[in-house]
Amino acid sequence: MAHQVLDSTILGSTIDIFRGPVHVDSDLAEDDFMALGALVAAKANIIGITFTGCGIARLAPARRNIFRFLKETNMLHVPFAGGNALPLQGDHKFPENWRNQADQFYGLKESLHVEEESEIKDGEELLAHNLRTSMEKVRIIALGPMTNIAKVLRSHPELADRIEHIYVMGGAFHPVQGNIQPCGVPIDNDVAEWNIYIDPLAAREVLEKVSPRITFVPLNATDKVVLDAPYFHRLEQYHPTAVSDLIYRMLNDEELLGKIIYRGFLCFWDPLTAVIAMNDSFVTSWEDTKVDIVTEEGKHSGQTIYSTNGCRARVVTDVAVERFKECYFTTLTS
Ligand SMILES: [Ca+2]
C-alpha cells in the first residue's frame, strides 16, 4: 500500500503504520479517548476529529473534553468540531448515567474552558471540508453512531469517492449477541450493538455509499480484548508520557474502576478499531461478505446481518489479542 512505511517508535518493535490522512468521527467516551491516545502516540496523520451529540458524550462537554485532550497532548493543531445531537431517525439513546460520566470526563472530572476554536465549528462541515480539500483520499475511523458521516454523504454524495476506507467500531454478527441487554438496560433487543443501534439508518446509508471500502470491527472481535484490573495496574505503575498520563488519570475513576474495569467489562472497542485502521496485522480472522443493517424499529433494530441482498464489506471476526494489548501499551507509553 502506498502509505505503509516502517515505524520503529511503536512499542519497541517494528510495525507498519498507515501514514495517509485520517479523520476520526467519535462520541468521546472513555474508549474513544483510548483510541485517540494510541493514534496520537503513534503519530498518525490526524487531519480532523468530529463528534456526534447522539452518542455517549453530549456536545458541549464533549467539546471541552476534546479540547483538554488535545491541549494536554500538544495536538491543538488538529481541528475538532461537534455535529448534530439527534440521530437521522428514531430516538435511541445511551443510558443517562453513561452520558453523565462521559460529560465529566471520568477521572479527569473537570474540563478546561475552550480557549481556542477550530476555524470550522460544525462537525459535518469539518468532515466535508477535509474530504474535499485533502490531497489524498481520507481514511475515516468511525467510533460512534455514524450520524455525522451519513449527513455529509447525504448533502455531498460526490464526497463518498474521497473516502479511502472507513473502519467502523460497530455491529454484532452471528453468532455473537448484541451488547444492549448485557448492560442491564431495559430495552428488548439482544442482537444490536450500541453504536449501530443508536442510528441504524445512518449506519446503513454509510454502508451503502462507501461499500466495499468499509471494515466493521464488531463485538465478535472487540469482546475478546478486555482492559482488566492487571492491565490498569500496569498503566498505574507506568505512564511516563503526556498521553499515557492523561489516559491513566481518565481511567482512574472510582465509578469506572469499580463498576466496569474491575468487573472485566471494559473492552478495547474503539482503540482496537483505531489500531486495526493503522495496522491490519492484528486481524487474524475476517469475512469478505455482504452486510445489511435492520433499520426498522423493534427488537431487531440496529442488527447487523450477513445477507446476500446486502452491501459488500469486510467484517473482522478475530484478532491477535495478546499482541494487540502489548502493542497498545507500548505505543501509549512510548
Ligand atoms: Ca465510541
What is the CATH classification number for the domain harbouring 164?
3.90.245.10
* Residue 155 alpha carbon to ligand 1 centre in Å: 24
141-165 average pLDDT score = 98
Q: How far is the CA of 250 from the centre of ligand 1 (A)?
A: 15
User: How many angstroms is it from 9 CA to the middle of ligand 1?
Assistant: 26
10 within domain boundaries = no
The answer to whether position 37 is within a domain reads yes
Of 304, 307, 273, nearest in space to 289 by CA: 307
Quote the CA–CA distance of 333 and 214 in Å, as a whole number. Answer: 30
Q: Rounded to whole angstroms, how far apart are CA atoms 105 and 126?
A: 24
Distance 192 CA to ligand 1 centre (A): 15
pLDDT given at position 11: 45
- pLDDT at res. 116: 86
Distance 227 CA to ligand 1 centre (A): 15
* Rounded distance from Cα 174 to ligand 1 centre (Å): 22
Per residue in 222-231, pLDDT (tens digit) is: 999 999 999 9
Rounded-to-integer distance, Cα 214 and Cα 115, Å:
36
Note the pLDDT of residue 14: 46
Q: In terms of residue numbers, what domain contains 74?
A: 17-333
Cell (9 digits) for 117: 476554536
> What is the DSSP secondary structure assignment for residue 23, as one 8-state letter?
E
Check residue 258 and report its DSSP letter: I
How many angstroms does the Cα of residue 52 sit away from the middle of ligand 1? 10
Ligand 1 center to 129 CA (angstroms): 22
Distance (angstroms) between ligand 1 centre and the Cα of 322 equals 22
For residue 218, CA distances in Å to 65, 111, 157 come to: 26, 31, 26
Q: For residue 214, what are the β-bridge partners?
A: 166
Q: Is residue 5 part of a domain?
A: no
Residue 205 CA to residue 48 CA, distance in Å, equals 22
Q: Number of C-alpha atoms within 13 angstroms, CB side, residue 314?
A: 19
Number of domains in the chain: 1
In a domain, 2, yes or no: no
Q: Which of 29, 27, 300 is closest to 187 using CA atoms? A: 300
170 inside domain: yes
Q: Is residue 231 part of a domain?
A: yes
Beta bridge partners of 287: 315
Percent of the chain exceeding pLDDT 70 equals 96
pLDDT in tens, 24-73: 999 999 999 999 999 999 999 999 999 999 999 999 999 999 999 999 99
Ligand 1 centroid distance, CA of 178 (Å): 16
Rounded CA separation 62/80 (Å): 10
Q: How far apart are CA 38 and CA 315, in angstroms?
A: 22
In angstroms, what is the span from residue 162 Cα to ligand 1's centroid? Answer: 23
- What's the CA-to-centroid distance between 194 and ligand 1, angstroms? 9
Predicted local distance difference test score (pLDDT) of residue 15: 61
Distances, alpha carbon 28 to alpha carbons 41, 103, 295, in Å: 18, 9, 24
CB 327 within 8 A of CB 13: yes
* Model pTM score: 0.95
pLDDT tens-digit readout, 264-282: 999 999 999 999 999 999 9
Does residue 11 sit within a domain?
A: no
Whether the pLDDT of residue 5 is over 50: the answer is no
H or E segment and range at residue 312? strand 311-319
In a domain, 227, yes or no: yes
Span 218-224, average pLDDT: 98
Can you tell me the distance from the alpha carbon of 202 to that of 46, in angstroms, rounded to the nearest whole number? 23
Over residues 194-204, the mean pLDDT reads 98
| CA 257 to each of CA 13, 61, 252, 263, 326: distance values in angstroms, whole numbers, following the listed order | 30, 22, 7, 8, 21
